[in-house]
């Protein structure tokens, strides 16, 4: 499917505050500054690429309002508050055109229990299962092979992509996006060692996902041992993330790929966890904490901290230690040399 935009449509979508130059081209593609050609839209999202603006062949370039410089003939500069956000708005329009939601209703191959409630504006795709007492809200889009368990609830305007599982009693808020393979409400990893064997601890709680949450492909959020595992409003979770039972994640957190959060940990609002970071159970990571990739967080972290390393320590200290670590071979040589000098001095004095 070929999609195109006029320059006027681009200006409206991006909420441009000004412009410089002009072009007669229709926008048919999106590209980085260096690889763009006529008919492409590009943007300056990072100051390190500023020099490429002068040489780009893009027909329209999204630029910050304070950018100086004149476009060559046939090129249009559009000035916006944030070029990256402006481009994202264009992509959102493109996404709706390329992948429109299918007609509302229940596909003939889907199975929906008679006691389930499905809004008339919802879409239930092929080979889905909706169990007894489940509630599917207005304008919800459930794609192929999705399982919605007994008494689960899916909030308005949410989008469940192929292969998603929302297990019994779990609740999904409004405008939530669950990417392919997300599992909400699998059993928490709980066992007691009794008389030489691991005895399973029943996991009878639920998962509650707030509004405007996005969860990446093949991520898993375990149901609570009792009570609830909670994901706060606006939190974004990347692919292949494991969140254990009874974890409490606050609002507007960013949880990057392959992060693991152990049971009963508390992650407060606006926390950022870099890829492959690990959080031990029963600890609190304070509001606004930023943890670098592969950080090992094994104790409480004060609000606003910037940490890195394993075990995680303040970022600047960890960086200094990393630099010193590279000098260890030189340090050992110097110590060996000093020991030889001391030994020679003892021989001479004796």
Q: Which residues are catalytic?
A: 245
For residue 163, the 8-state DSSP code is T
Query: Is the Cβ–Cβ distance between 236 and 254 less than 8 Å?
Result: yes
For the beta sheet containing 117-118, the strands, ordered from the edge strand earlier in sequence to the opposite edge, are 117-118, 135-136, 153-154, 171-172, 206-209, 228-231, 248-249, 266-267, 284-285
Phi-psi region of 16 (alpha: psi -120 to 50; beta: other; left: phi over 0): beta
Query: Is the Cβ–Cβ distance between 114 and 133 less than 8 Å?
Result: no
Tokens in use for 214?
């996005």
Write out the DSSP string of 194-246: ETTEEEEPP---EEEE-TT-EE-TT-EEEPPSSSEEEE-TT-EE-TT-EE-TT
């Amino acid at each position: 499917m070929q999609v195109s935009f006029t320059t006027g449509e681009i200006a409206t979508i991006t909420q441009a505050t000004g412009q410089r130059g002009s072009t007669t081209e229709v926008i048919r593609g999106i590209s980085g500054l260096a690889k763009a050609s006529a008919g492409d839209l590009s943007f300056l999202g990072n100051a390190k690429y500023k020099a490429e603006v002068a040489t780009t062949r893009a027909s329209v370039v999204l630029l910050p309002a304070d950018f100086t410089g004149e476009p060559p003939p046939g090129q249009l500069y559009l000035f916006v508050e944030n070029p990256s956000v402006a481009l994202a708005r264009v992509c959102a329009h493109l996404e709706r055109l390329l992948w429109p939601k299918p007609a509302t209703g229940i596909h003939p191959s889907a199975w929906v229990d008679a006691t389930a409630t499905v809004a008339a504006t919802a879409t239930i795709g092929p080979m889905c299962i909706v169990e007894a007492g489940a509630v599917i809200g207005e304008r919800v889009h459930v794609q192929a092979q999705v399982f919605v368990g007994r008494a689960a609830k899916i909030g308005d305007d949410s989008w469940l992509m192929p292969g998603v599982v929302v297990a019994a009693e779990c609740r999904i808020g409004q405008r939530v996006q669950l990417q392919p393979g997300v599992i909400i409400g699998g059993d928490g990893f709980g066992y007691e060692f009794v008389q030489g064997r691991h005895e399973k601890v029943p996991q009878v709680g639920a998962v509650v996902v707030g509004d405007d949450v996005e969860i990446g492909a093949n991520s898993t959020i375990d149901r609570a041992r009792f009570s609830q595992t909670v994901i706060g409003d606006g939190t974004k979770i990347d692919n292949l993330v494991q969140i254990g039972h009874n974890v409490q994640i606050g609002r507007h957190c960013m949880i990057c790929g392959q992060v693991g959060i152990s049971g009963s940990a508390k992650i407060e609002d606006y926390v950022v966890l870099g890829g492959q970071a690990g959080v031990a159970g029963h600890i609190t990571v304070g509001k606004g904490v930023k943890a670098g990739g592969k950080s090992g967080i094994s104790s409480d972290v004060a609000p606003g901290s910037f940490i890195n390393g394993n075990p995680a320590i303040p970022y600047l200290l960890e960086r200094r230690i990393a630099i010193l670590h590279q000098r260890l071979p030189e340090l050992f040589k110097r110590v060996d040399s000093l020991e030889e000098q001391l030994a020679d001095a003892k021989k001479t004095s004796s």
